[in-house]
Amino acid sequence: MTDTIPDTMPVWRRDSYGAADGTRLEQTPVPTPGRGQVLLRIRATALNAGDVRLMLGDPLLVRPFVGLTRPKNPVRGMDVAGTVVAVGPDVVGAEVGEEVIVELPGGGGLAGYACVAASRVVSMGRGLEPESAACLPIAGGTAWQALDVAGVGLTDRATPRVLIIGASGGVGVFAVQLAALRGAEVWASCGDRNAPLIEALGATRTLDHRTEPLEDLPAGRFDAIIDIAGGIPLRQLQRLLAPGGTAALVTGDGGHVMGPVPRMLKAAFLSIGSPRRIRSVAAVNRPEVLRKLLALAAEGRIVPVIEREYPFAEAPAALAHIEAGHTVGKIVVRGA
């Protein structure tokens, strides 16, 4: 480490499961990068619905993996943009002073500094502010992988018709843009007040499935469906698919105990022998996809939509905003 790195850093922690208002600011030692790791000074953290689920420990099914009675990692924030300020032994491909973005496994972004494996970081390059770049890893990566699961842009259909349910959230705004870039005719379900934004991002038509029921649409209307909002009966999704079509389930909705598992199992059962498949999306960290997203964003072909930026001192309010639901695009917390 260099002398410019302090001994301690501010960290927003919640040492037990619960709501955002239980998050507290503490001073803790700055971590030292281990073998194959880099130390980042965090410049911006984009929050996701997954951060809130980890904060609440919901569903209970995840707690054996993230902490049975309390979170193993008490610091939320997985998507960050930062500056490499130190490197551990055997680091290849990352240099001190480099601006990078990364998905921190399990969290740690609402802090002054964080250590992460050098193999996970992607150079930010030029053309993006850290607040915008931080929006890309989970939300952009999930949208990309959901479209792959649904086969959008991967088949010989000249202009596939795609329905995106929950189009105005963090994943949805990227799904709309990426589907349009892949040559799809995009139908997007969102609230009326968000329709102008979603149409500007590339949707051919917008509707609100809460006031315009999907059962009123003709059967076999879509080649692919990306379900981000959840709450739609699986048989209804299947009815809307054309033969050979696929619905990709992004949402983690479900009960407090098992979460989305029962819905995922039912989707797999309904897909057996059917020409209209329903598949669950298990998005994973893929640096090669993140590089493509960065290039598209730097060229202005996709635009990270930020509803609001919070200063570091107001990080609990940012978490509470996500917890309340109905976020348009992304919520970002600036660095300490």
The predicted structure's pLDDT at residue 125: 85
Selected residue with higher pLDDT from 155 and 276: 276
Distance CA 287, CA 268 (A): 28
Nearest CA among 161, 254, 165, 252 for reference residue 209: 165
* Closest listed residue to residue 316, CA positions, set 1, 9, 19, 16: 19
Q: Cα separation of 91 and 41, whole Å?
A: 17
Does 284 have pLDDT greater than 50? yes
Q: Is the pLDDT of residue 104 over 60?
A: yes
The tokens of 236 are what?
Answer: 């209804």
Q: Give the pLDDT confidence score for residue 252 in this predicted structure.
A: 61
Tally Cβ neighbours within 10 Å of residue 239: 16
- Taking the C-alpha atoms of residue 205 and residue 189, their distance in angstroms, rounded to an integer, is 9
- 3-state class (DSSP) for residue 285: coil
Share of the chain above pLDDT 90, in %: 85
Closest CA to 229 of 189, 267, 266, 173: 189
Calpha distance 135→269 (Å, rounded): 34
pLDDT band (50, 70, 90) for residue 46:
very high
β-sheet with 241-249: strand ranges across: 205-207, 185-189, 161-165, 222-227, 241-249, 277-280
241 touches 219 (CB < 8 A): no
| pTM for this predicted structure | 0.95
**pLDDT 10s digits, 253-268:** 678 888 888 888 999 9
User: How confident is the model at residue 3, as a pLDDT?
Assistant: 55
Mean pLDDT of 191-207: 96
Nearest to 200 by CA among 80, 97, 302: 302
Mean residue pLDDT of the chain comes to 94
- Burial-class residue 12 by CB neighbours within 10 Å (0-12, 13-18, 19+): buried
> Over pLDDT 70: what percentage of the chain?
98
What pLDDT sits at residue 1? Answer: 44
Using the structure block, give the residue that is written with the tokens 């315009």. 212
Q: What is the pLDDT of residue 257?
A: 86
